[in-house]
């Protein structure tokens, strides 16, 4: 097993190396604690830090921890975990290959532990779709679009690119970002998969730990969309109670307020929701919301996990998705991901349009 493969375990040659060694994964997870520990660390670090943790010096441990980490991700079977894990592995790879490229001239590395641009392009069959120019690169539009579709920023939209002869211009940094996306796509592809019972049994403790970490985290930092029809049943029920003017216990009020702040609602918007309540006090409602948001406290609070919601009696109207989701934010994120564009109408926008139409 080569250090290159441990450093870049997503490479086809790395997978072939594991196959050539005839590694029995069931035996590894049962007998090799160092590999299992490193695999768990890869996944937990992906959730908590957006990277894969400190690599091990032992090439075998580092390389084998990658397929075991994929097993753990598959056992937990949460879309948000798959996405975060793939992004973290891709981010780690990006840091490594950009370092490799900077260490040499013309983006080429001669070290056996490094990777050069030509090899990386060929790895993803991009060598024929990317050509170097005097001021950067040009990439076939059909190749560019799927690589750029999940990237944030208007600059990635095709309408903002000088498309010429079916090619999109990109600079050096942009090309490397697109390569990172190619890696992310490969890592995410095929996850989750069915895990043999004998392997799952050996890794159940590690999978349980990852589920706990997943439940405790704020899982959707980039969501700024309010679509009540896609809310988890518990939050939909609490929102309905607010709109009916019903008094909510403190734990219920905290849960729905933390949820609404986490999906992008402002303090003013949340305060307006509570106005229909007979015991509404604007100053206290605003203070509590700002406190939960972290504006008037050192902590930004996340919504309670499903287990906590259940313990307080706020877990109601469970559906099939609830059965395999550990956190209301994970539920909402998956519903948003699975919804068609025409289903995603932000509640706030609809209200603004109604107010504009009525002349308010």
List, as residue ranges, the binding site for [4Fe-4S] cluster: 234, 306, 315, 322
Cβ atoms of residues 35 and 18 within 8 Å: no
Phi, psi (degrees; rounded to nearest 5) at 27: -70, -40
Cβ atoms of residues 264 and 224 within 8 Å: yes
Helices (H), the chain: 3-7, 12-20, 25-31, 33-49, 59-76, 79-102, 117-123, 141-148, 172-188, 197-202, 204-216, 233-243, 250-262, 267-274, 282-293, 306-311, 328-338, 347-358
* C-alpha–C-alpha distance, residues 200 and 38, integer Å: 17
Q: Within a 13 Å sphere around the CA of 296, how many CA atoms are in the beta-carbon half?
A: 10
For the beta carbon of residue 243, count every other beta carbon within 10 angstroms.
13
* C-alpha–C-alpha distance, residues 177 and 337, integer Å: 23
Phi, psi (degrees; rounded to nearest 5) at 138: -130, 140
Spell out the long-range contacts of 236-240 with Cβ–Cβ below 8 A and sequence spacing 24 or more: 236/317, 237/314, 237/316, 237/317, 238/314, 239/273
Cβ atoms of residues 85 and 176 within 8 Å: no
Q: Binding site, residues? A: 234, 306, 315, 322
For the beta carbon of residue 99, count every other beta carbon within 10 angstroms.
12
Cβ atoms of residues 118 and 140 within 8 Å: no
**What are the distances in angstroms from CA 94 to CA 87, 97, 191?**
10, 5, 21
* C-alpha–C-alpha distance, residues 183 and 304, integer Å: 33
């Amino acid at each position: 097993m080569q250090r290159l493969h441990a450093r870049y375990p997503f490479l086809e040659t790395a997978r072939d190396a594991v196959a050539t060694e005839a590694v029995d994964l069931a035996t590894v997870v049962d007998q090799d604690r160092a590999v299992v520990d490193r695999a768990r660390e890869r996944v937990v670090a992906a959730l908590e830090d957006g990277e894969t943790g400190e690599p091990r010096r032992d090439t075998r441990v580092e390389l084998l921890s990658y397929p075991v980490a994929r097993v753990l991700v598959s056992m937990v079977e949460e879309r948000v975990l798959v996405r975060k894990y793939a992004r973290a592995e891709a981010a780690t790879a990006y840091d490594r290959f950009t370092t490799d490229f900077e260490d040499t001239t013309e983006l080429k590395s001669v070290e056996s532990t490094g990777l050069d641009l030509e090899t990386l392009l060929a790895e993803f069959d991009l060598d024929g779709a990317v050509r170097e120019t005097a001021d950067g690169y040009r990439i076939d539009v059909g190749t560019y679009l799927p690589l750029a579709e999940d990237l944030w920023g208007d600059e990635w939209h095709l309408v903002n690119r000088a498309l010429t002869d079916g090619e999109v211009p990109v600079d050096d940094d942009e090309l490397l970002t697109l390569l990172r996306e190619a890696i992310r796509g490969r890592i995410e592809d095929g996850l989750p998969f069915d895990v043999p019972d004998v392997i799952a049994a050996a890794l159940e403790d590690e999978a349980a730990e990852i589920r706990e970490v997943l439940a405790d985290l704020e899982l959707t930092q980039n969501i700024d969309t309010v679509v009540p029809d896609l809310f988890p049943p518990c939050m939909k029920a609490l929102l309905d109670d607010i709109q009916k003017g019903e008094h909510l216990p403190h734990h219920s009020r905290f849960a729905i307020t933390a949820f609404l702040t986490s999906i992008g609602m402002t303090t003013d918007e949340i305060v307006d929701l509570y106005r229909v309540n007979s015991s509404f006090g604007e100053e206290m409602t605003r203070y509590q919301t700002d406190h939960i948001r972290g504006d008037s406290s050192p902590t930004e609070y996340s919504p309670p996990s499903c287990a906590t919601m259940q313990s307080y009696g706020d877990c109601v109207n469970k559906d099939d998705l609830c059965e395999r989701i550990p956190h209301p934010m994970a539920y909402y994120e998956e519903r948003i991901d699975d919804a068609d564009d025409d289903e995603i109408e932000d509640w706030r926008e609809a209200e603004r349009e109604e107010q504009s139409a009525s002349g308010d």
